[in-house]
Amino acid sequence: MLVVDRPTPGLTEVIPRLSALLAAEGNPVSHLGALPREFSVPAIIRLGKKIQVLGDSALVSVDATKRKVYRGSRWPGIRERVLARVSSASRGESLGPLHELVLSLSLTDPFSSSFNVRSCKSFHDVIRFVHEMAVRCMFRFGDQHNRPWQKRRQLRTRLAFRLYLIDLDEVIPAGKRTVEPAEVASIPFGALWRGLSDKRLHWPERWDREFRGLPSDFQEQVLGGMRGPRRRRGPRYAIVGHEYLNVNARFAYHYAMVDAMVSGGEAHNYVHFRFHGGGASAEQKQRRARFMESVLRQLGFDVNRRGEMLIAWLRHYPLADSEAALEMLGRLIMCAQQLDLMMRSEEDVDGYTQHFMAGDYHLLLDQERT
């Protein structure tokens, strides 16, 4: 049996060899929450602090249907059956042709070179592949369709960038060309904006001082800004609805995309996030990516990271939890501005993570100013 704080994608390969999976946190209807059922592995997700009462029990019985955990062996003969199944899985024995055709999963790593349609061996593989490709297409949509919008409202903000809002379902007061953030009746936008506009996380642009008086195109070229579809001082767009938000924008010298649906029905709630780019070396950008991955995982996100590129998602969480995640995501986006330039060693990854999670944002700012 495996007891974890939160199920992560890294558990995919070991699940068939488990007798049971217990997790303190996580999403019961996520991919990792559903996968154990396909291998007949009892799993209970989001046990909370109750998981601590297990202590060092040598033997427990798990009833996943009723979400109950008992000390000792509860049902005669079940232990031997579980051990036989685990032993078969460990030896790689087939569970039968129907299982191989329908439930077996070969496509476990979405960034592997073997993650392609030719590697699909089961219906489960096909569904996994289609889902991953759909998410990637959604993330690329904003970059492929970067064009001016006719019906747009400019957000009035003290932040050093222009943000235009595209109103989906009349969440912005009619007749206004510029609006205050508080006037936008969008649940996910309000949550993200609270994080983005946190006064503790804004500092003067370091490179504005360093490159003062030099042409802006020169700054873009030196700091890597020419490699993306948008210029640094260009407009940014957000599509807003009462329960929906899509932001695909450039912040400083990196690109961030947030796509979210947040409502009272948690079955439909999700927060998707993509991040890449920067003005530092590849090694420093990867350090920042590892810092962000560490933070996002602690916030409950599932994360795929390849080099400097991050893709993260949080799905089927209640409204309050989704709002809290978006607010922290906004802080993380602003905190990450030019942080790659500051991260000079691997120790910085853990140190910055601890400061951020503790809310010690002033320590990040003090280090940036030194």
CATH code for the domain of 62? 3.50.30.10
Are 249 and 323 part of one and the same domain?
yes
Rounded Cα–Cα distance for residues 325 and 227 (Å) = 30
Are 36 and 181 part of one and the same domain?
no
User: If you search the block for the tokens 């006037």, which residue do you land on?
Assistant: 183
CA dihedral of 221, 224, 228, 231, whole degrees rounded to 10 = -50
Residue among 164, 140, 189, 339 nearest 253 (CA): 339
Would residue 161 count as lying in a domain?
A: yes
Would residue 119 count as lying in a domain?
A: no
Task: Look up the domain containing 257 and give its range.
Answer: 153-369
Q: Among 98-107, 170-179, 236-245, 348-357, name the one with the lowest average pLDDT.
A: 98-107
Residue among 124, 110, 18, 12 nearest 64 (CA): 18
Are 81 and 185 part of one and the same domain?
no
Are 104 and 181 part of one and the same domain?
no
Are 101 and 160 part of one and the same domain?
no
Would residue 125 count as lying in a domain?
A: no
Are 200 and 57 part of one and the same domain?
no
Are 44 and 159 part of one and the same domain?
no
What pLDDT score was predicted for residue 331?
A: 92
| Domain count along the chain | 2
Boundary (domain end) residue, out of 109, 128, 143? 109
Are 161 and 66 part of one and the same domain?
no
Are 160 and 298 part of one and the same domain?
yes
Are 207 and 334 part of one and the same domain?
yes
Are 105 and 225 part of one and the same domain?
no
Q: What is the pLDDT of residues 78-118, one digit of tens each?
A: 877 877 777 766 555 556 787 778 877 778 777 678 889 99
Would residue 120 count as lying in a domain?
A: no
User: Where is pLDDT greater, at 112 or 257?
Assistant: 257
Would residue 245 count as lying in a domain?
A: yes
Q: Read off the tokens for 55.
A: 């202590």
Would residue 235 count as lying in a domain?
A: yes
Are 26 and 173 part of one and the same domain?
no
Residues 225 and 231 sit within 8 Å (Cβ to Cβ): yes
Would residue 290 count as lying in a domain?
A: yes
Q: Is the pTM of this model over 0.75?
A: no
Would residue 130 count as lying in a domain?
A: no
HSE-CB at 34 with a 13 A cutoff on CA atoms is 9
Q: What is the pLDDT of residues 109-162, one digit of tens each?
A: 776 788 899 999 998 889 888 987 887 776 566 555 555 455 678 898 877 677
